Each structure stands twice: as C-alpha cells, then as structure tokens.
C-alpha cells in the first residue's frame, strides 16, 4: 500500500521553508530547469561542440573554461533526486510505470510526454526559469514578471486542456 | 548570524554547496510526498479535477514571502544582498503560455519531472528527454528569438512598486489572494468533480 500523501498546505509550507533556506544561506532562489539546460548543453558539448561554440546562448556557459555542471542549481537538483527517491522508497511508490488516463495507450501517453517536454524546455528558457525558479521564487519575491508568468501557465494549460482530455480523464 | 550566510562570509563555498544538496533533498522529498511525481495529478489542475498543485504553490510562495520579510524585519536577513529576478514581461507571458500548454500535454514541469523520473515514472523520463531537446532548440536557434527574449526589460519590478504600496501591505494582499484563490479553486473542484475524487 502506498502511503497517504501530505496535506497540500503542509507540503507547501515545507517547500516554502526550502525556499527560505536557499535565500538565508545562499542569497538566491532554488530552481530546476537551469540544471537540466546545463546538462543538455554539456551533452551537446561532447556530441556536437561546434553547435555550442556558434551559439550565442550556450557559448557563455563554457566561457573561459567554465563547466556549467559545477553550478548551485545542479547540486540542488542532485539533492532533489536523492530526496524524491527516499520519499518514494519510504512511501512504497518506487515503480516503473506510465501514469495516464484510462482512454489512452501507454505509447500514446509517452508521445504526449515527449512533446510536452520539448514545449516546456523551450518555454522555460524563453521565460528565464520554470515553475520553481521563476514562478515560486519570483512569486515570493513579488516579481511582476513571475506572477504574469504563473498566470500565463494556467492560461496556456486551460486553453489546451479540452483538446487533450483523452489523455487524462 | 545574519543571512545570506555565504555573502556575509559566514560559511565557505563548500558548505554552501553541501547546503544546496541538502535543501534539494528537502525539496525533492516534499515534491514526492505532495504527490507531484504523478503526472495525472499535475494535469488534473487544468481540469479543476485536483487543485492540490496550485494550493501547494500558493502556500509555498506565501510561506517564503512572509518568512523572508519577517527575517529581514528581525534584522536576520539583508535583502540588499539578495538576487532579485528581473522582469521581462512579454517574453515571460509568452513563455508562460507555451509552458502551460507543455505542462498540460506533458503532465510535468521540470522539477516534478526530475522527482518523478527517479521514482521510476517512464513518462517523466521521456518528458525530461523532451525538455533537454527543447532547451537545446532554444539555445541553438537563439538568433531567431534573441531580440524578443531581451525585449520588455523592466529590471527588478515588484508588485509593491507596481501599485506604489508598502512592501508589507503587498505581501499581506498576496497572502489574501493566495488564501482566497486556494479556497475558490477547491470549491470549483468539488462543484465539478464532487468531494470524493
């Protein structure tokens, strides 16, 4: 039996405390997408280094011999993986599976996951952050851009929800 | 000890990095225990079927906002040494809209996909693969949107400045918005989908 989930208010307070700690200790916010993009750029640096050198966006990642993986957010994301794994373990939720609604095949669901991932990967860079680094952190800093970002996420999700309902409900 | 600890020279770079990992552990643990490794739960937000995601988000934002402001009032945190995120309004609105579409289609956001991937969720692994491709697409074809990406730059722009009100009042109003927003969405969830789902 899977363990019961936390109350969302309690979960929110815990995540809020994690955010306060990064500011109190490091003077900056947490985030997730930055580490993934650093990882993507690092793979590209092995497979096709010329693409990074010619990219105005990625070349600064490696300027003066820098390693984008030696970054605060990368260490934080390593912690996220450890924490989620432990939580999955203690709550008996470690399992290879595809979660989806009843009206779609697993293969169909994985195509949606791929397309959604590409869109989010692109959009997180356009918005300079994701739900963690931009919406939560910027939201707590009362950033106008971050609040606009967050409401736009809901707008985009609600706009498309009807057309993809087969996947979820 | 007055924070930020690293910027006040109280801890070393190594300790700071260790803290980053430990805070990540707390964050990842909380994401999993809040049910955020389940793509169905996240996507349920966009059908008002399960509004836990926005409730957790609003609670986290207000907890952090009140906590940080409280620490600064107590003199324990120097807001002047903070990194405030700059606002690029239009790119953030457009980026947010595409992000929302991707979240409804893919069932995750970056942080939740990482947390779900390590618990064995195959859809999360594919989503992360897609994310890597999407961010490479952005960076490799950067000249196409370079101009737009840097447009509408407003620097550090906060809600208290937007409405020309006191910072404490702005935090109070945001907290009210979060509470009534959460209650309102929960009400809609019960109305559309009943209480037992």
pLDDT single digits (tens) B173-186: 999 999 999 999 99
Task: Name the β-bridge partners of B153.
Answer: B88
Residues of B in contact with A17 (CB under 8 A): 26, 63, 67
Among chain B residues, CA nearest to A163? B105
Phi/psi of residue A143, nearest 5 degrees: -70, 130
The predicted structure's pLDDT at residue B81: 84
Among chain A residues, CA nearest to B38? A99
B163 touches chain A (CB under 8 A): no
Most B CBs within 10 Å, among A52, A78, A92, A126, to test the B interface = A126
- Distances from the Cα of A10 to the Cαs of A16, A28, B60, in angstroms? 10, 23, 9
B172 touches chain A (CB under 8 A): no
The predicted structure's pLDDT at residue B82: 82
Residues of B in contact with A2 (CB under 8 A): none
Q: What is the dihedral of CA B19, B26, B181, B166, to 10 degrees?
A: -20
Q: Identify the burial level of A24 via C-beta atoms within 10 angstroms of its C-beta, where 0-12 means exposed, 13-18 middle and 19 or more buried.
A: buried
Helix, strand, coil percentages (3-state) for chain B, rounded to 5, are: 70, 5, 25
Q: Is A48 left (phi over 0), alpha (psi -120 to 50) or beta?
A: beta
Tell me the pLDDT tens digit for each residue of B35-71: 999 999 999 999 999 999 999 999 999 999 999 999 9
- The alpha helices in A27-169, defined as continuous H runs, are 33-47, 49-54, 72-90, 106-126, 137-140, 144-161, 165-168
Query: Under DSSP, is residue B183 helix (H, G, I), strand (E, B) or coil?
Result: helix
Residues of A in contact with B27 (CB under 8 A): 15, 18, 30, 76, 79-80, 83, 132
| Spatial CA neighbour of B86 closest among B151, B153, B28 | B153
Token pair 């400045």 is found at B161
pTM for the complete prediction? 0.96
The predicted structure's pLDDT at residue B162: 96
The predicted structure's pLDDT at residue A3: 82
- Per-residue pLDDT of chain A (169 residues), as tens digits, is 678 999 999 999 999 999 999 999 999 999 999 999 999 999 999 999 999 999 999 999 998 889 999 999 999 999 999 999 999 999 999 999 999 999 999 999 999 999 999 999 999 999 999 999 999 999 999 999 999 999 999 999 999 999 999 999 8
B103 touches chain A (CB under 8 A): yes
The predicted structure's pLDDT at residue A1: 62
pLDDT, chain B, mean: 96
| Cβ contact, residue pair A84, B28, below 8 Å | yes
Establish whether the linkage from the previous residue to B4 is cis, with ω within 30° of 0.
Answer: yes
Among chain B residues, CA nearest to A155? B97
Which of B110, B126, B167 has the CB atom closest to A120's CB atom?
A: B110
Residues of B in contact with A88 (CB under 8 A): 32, 37, 118-120
User: Alpha-carbon distance B156 to B84, whole Å?
Assistant: 6
Which segments in chain B show pLDDT lower than 70?
Answer: 196-197
**B81 and B8 in contact (C-beta within 8 Å)?**
yes
| Cβ contact, residue pair B105, A23, below 8 Å | no
| Cβ contact, residue pair B68, A88, below 8 Å | no
């Amino acid at each position: 039996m899977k363990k019961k989930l936390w109350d969302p208010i309690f979960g929110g307070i815990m995540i809020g405390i994690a955010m306060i700690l990064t500011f109190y200790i490091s003077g900056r916010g947490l985030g997730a997408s930055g580490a993934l993009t650093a990882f993507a750029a690092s793979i590209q640096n092995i497979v096709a280094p010329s693409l990074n050198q010619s990219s105005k966006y990625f070349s600064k990642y490696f300027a003066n011999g820098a390693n984008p993986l030696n970054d605060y957010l990368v260490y934080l994301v390593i912690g996220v993986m450890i924490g989620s794994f432990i939580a999955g373990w203690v709550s008996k939720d470690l399992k290879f599976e595809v979660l989806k609604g009843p009206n779609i095949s697993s293969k169909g669901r994985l195509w949606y996951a791929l397309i959604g991932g590409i869109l989010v990967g692109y959009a997180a860079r356009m918005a300079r952050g994701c739900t963690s680094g931009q919406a939560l952190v910027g939201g707590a800093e009362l950033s106008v851009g971050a609040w606009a970002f967050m409401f736009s996420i809901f707008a985009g999700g609600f706009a498309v929800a009807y057309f993809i309902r087969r996947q979820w409900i | 000890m007055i924070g930020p600890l690293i910027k006040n020279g109280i801890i070393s770079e190594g300790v700071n990095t260790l803290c980053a990992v430990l805070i990540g552990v707390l964050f990842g643990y909380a994401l999993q225990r809040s049910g955020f490794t389940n793509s169905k739960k996240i996507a349920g937000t966009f059908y008002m079927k399960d509004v836990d995601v926005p409730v957790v988000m609003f609670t986290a934002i207000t907890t952090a906002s009140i906590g940080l402001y409280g620490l600064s009032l107590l003199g324990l945190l120097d807001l002047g040494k903070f990194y405030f995120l700059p606002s690029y309004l239009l790119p953030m609105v457009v980026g947010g809209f595409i992000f929302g579409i991707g979240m409804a289609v893919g069932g995750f956001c970056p942080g939740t996909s990482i947390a779900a991937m390590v618990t064995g969720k195959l859809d999360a692994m594919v989503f992360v693969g897609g994310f890597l491709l999407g961010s490479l697409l952005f960076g490799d074809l950067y000249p196409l949107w370079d101009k737009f990406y840097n447009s509408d730059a407003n620097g550090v722009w906060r809600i208290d400045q937007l409405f020309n009100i006191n910072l404490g009042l702005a935090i109070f109003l945001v907290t009210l918005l979060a509470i009534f927003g959460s209650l309102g969405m929960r009400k809609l969830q019960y109305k559309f989908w009943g209480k037992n789902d």
